[in-house]
Chain A
């Protein structure tokens, strides 16, 4: 394999791996803060125990997110130096701001939360976890601003001397329509992840009738959190489809394997294409639905791959401007499908809560454990769709992926790092999974991870 192919696989693998931990961190932080705040308000010790219990799981997960995030910050320059040189003027700014605003906030306040149980006033201590939640959201905002610019470059002008884009309008970068709909989508996806994770852990305990009162509360919080998030995901997803139709019509067409332009356009439920993804063999569709999804009108016209390919060839010169259709088609479909399953499932759970049957429904507890997979899979599929759907571009309309790779890094170096990272990440996945399960099963009252410190030790003096 050549360096480009290896670098692409390495980027995809390490980024998806990183995105196991990130949404859970973002989703869990506000729930833990909610538990701690609930304890402060009502003084019900169950909430304090829940905050500390989920805090332990949070820390294990956070460590993995931080560790794998280090690679993320540097691999742009390492493997994609031509890309970095080209886009740094615009893309680098949100990345740097993410570090300055978000990473310092997260790491510092998490340190305070973890080691500050006996040293900070209670209200201040709860506030530190809210600050962590704010930090993670800010981090998502700025990295999404960077990514949205790759999907839909705005607020820049090409420098005629260097042929590089230069930022001319920073507010426009932050008001990129792709960001305005994509950021809430990622946030609600993460909150759904946090909610269903809490629900799954609660399900495990309810099934075993352990800590019944505390985990019934946790399950209710998790359910409410999941339901609201899943509901809002459908709205943000719908808004995203319309922006995508406008700024990246090829991605929308690729999501639907829509080869010929249609108006009104049908939504494809299940399609079979030729193996190269160039032609349709069979397609089961719902009339008008794609028009509604993409344009918010009953008969709106949606452009097809063939017309777009012809248009892009006129605009950008000869080449293949369609992504891999089977990948985009199925990742999009499965993401949407899993999202709706999560919505239905959390609605069902809330109905059980309303009928006061949550604690007794063992089948639901089992299903809740399994349902934890849903948001993780949907998050992955969403990113696979949005990044693969942009191909062959790395920055839409400006730079193709094949021109972005580091020209001076030999394939064997990339192969070496890819093999090393795969081995390392594989090992960490096993250890992380084992430790998460062990900590999860350990019950509410294990006291691990916090350094208890009595008073009366001298401060170091000069």
Chain B
């Protein structure tokens, strides 16, 4: 009798443990990006290649459905309540209302969420016990070679994407290519936020003003660019430089990363 009772109790716990496991399984898949070195796009005497530790990265960008869970749990991030300091008026503008993406928008439930500000996505990653990738981390992950598409060079592939106008309906995640790390859509679907998008790539003893932009983008100054054929990287660099923390843009989403302990 006692054995049966104990067996029953342990079965219950097995059940509970199984349920737990299911919860864990429903979490977004993360993939390991091995350690590497990021060469800053613009070389000066002080910005040497940055060593990057191995980390885990979300398999895909965060989707509208996933972001809805966050908004439900964090009322201050609802469309009608959000502080303009932290998100401009385009915040989630493609959603029907505060707590609904919209029945007529079912085709974007699993598309990357866009129209989200840096403050909002930073808060999302934190809520998931994750964080935003740095530029160095994102660029290393983004360099991973595609494994399921035909392409002559990744740069050509990306430039081809940049050339096309935004599609009226953003496709689902996993609709472009998967790279050698197993990550989907690093290029070809959306642009992604990074933690230090507001970094300043120039020498420490800069005189400020805008002369550094000139150095970078004009004439002889652009000779300092590491890989002049990496026009796609150049575009990402200038795109990030044009952002502000509360900007919400129709082709800008995000994915999170986590340290490996």
- Asked whether A and B interact, the reply is no
Chain A residues at the B interface, C-beta cutoff of 8 Å: none
Chain B residues at the A interface, C-beta cutoff of 8 Å: none
